[in-house]
Amino acid sequence: MDCEHFELYASAYIDNALSEKEKLEFENHTDECDYCNIKLQNLKIVVESINNIEEIELPRNFSNELKSKLEKESEIEKPNNIKNIISNYKKMLGVIAGIFIIITSITLINNFSIYINRNNLHSGVDKLGKGKEEITFDIASEESMEAVDELENNDINQPRIMAIDNNIEAKQEMANEESIESTNNEENNNIMPGENNEDSLEYKNAENKPIEKNRNRVMNISVSALIVGATSIFIYKKFKK
């Protein structure tokens, strides 16, 4: 303890707020140091002067004025209670409406993203289907033209060999059918990559389905947590009041 720490300890010493050890050190110092001792005595006089400041009485009309204000306040509070109940219900409805909007928005977003994914899948499949029909149509038209030509030739040249022609026609038809089949087979082979593409598209979609499901699951959990949290906070505040 030295003169530097006097200010720090003097007030607490007067208020008896020092520990025993600190108190002893302080007293030892003030016994030895006249300067700090004088400062301590001056401080004690100041504190005692403040302690001796007398309380003043309340103004004459204080209690009446307070009473009328309390009565006014009490009257204001009564209709306010009804207003508070109504406003609380309004707040509750507001919160419920807000939660409903959030759920609806998230559900719509979910459905929209699923809708887009489905459209992408269908359009991919549609493209493949359309290609097949075009090829088949082209083959059929070519074959029909050939068949017509054959028939015309037969009609012009050999009417008396109708039976043979018929046979020839039948054979040609069969040949045509075979050629159509073989062409189809070729096309099938050719579209194997396409089929692979379709498979791969389906594979991708199949692959994406779990991811999509997980995403939806996460969103649903988030929404549920949000609702539970908001409701809990609201109920807690309401009961706290």
Partner 1 sequence: METLSSQEASLIEQSKAGDIESFEQLIISHQKRAFNIAYRILGNLEDANDATQEALIKAYKGIKNFNGKSSFSTWLYTIVNNTCMDFIRKNRKTKLTYLDREYEAEANSYKIQVHGDKETPEEALEKKEVQKIVHECINKLAYEHRRIIVLRDIQQFSYNEIAEILNCSEGTVKSRISRARKNLKILIQEKLDK
Residues that bind partner 1 (CB under 8 A): 7-8, 10-12, 15, 17, 42-43, 46-47, 49-59, 62-63, 65-67, 69-71, 73-74, 77
Distance (Å, whole) CA 204 – CA 230:
39
Distance (Å, whole) CA 72 – CA 63:
14
Which of 54, 134 has the CB closer to partner 1?
A: 54
Which of 47, 96 has the CB closer to partner 1?
A: 47
Closest separation in Å from C-beta 37 to partner 1: 15
Q: How far is CA 137 from CA 141, 170, 182, 191, in A?
A: 6, 22, 15, 16
Which of 20, 134 has the CB closer to partner 1?
A: 20
Closest separation in Å from C-beta 213 to partner 1: 49
Distance (Å, whole) CA 154 – CA 130:
36
Distance (Å, whole) CA 183 – CA 139:
8
Which of 45, 148 has the CB closer to partner 1?
A: 45
Distance (Å, whole) CA 157 – CA 44:
146
Which of 50, 82 has the CB closer to partner 1?
A: 50
Q: How far is CA 134 from CA 125, 181, 216, in A?
A: 15, 15, 39
Closest separation in Å from C-beta 89 to partner 1: 20
Burial class (CB in 10 A: 0-12, 13-18, 19+), 99: middle
Closest separation in Å from C-beta 73 to partner 1: 6
Closest separation in Å from C-beta 8 to partner 1: 6
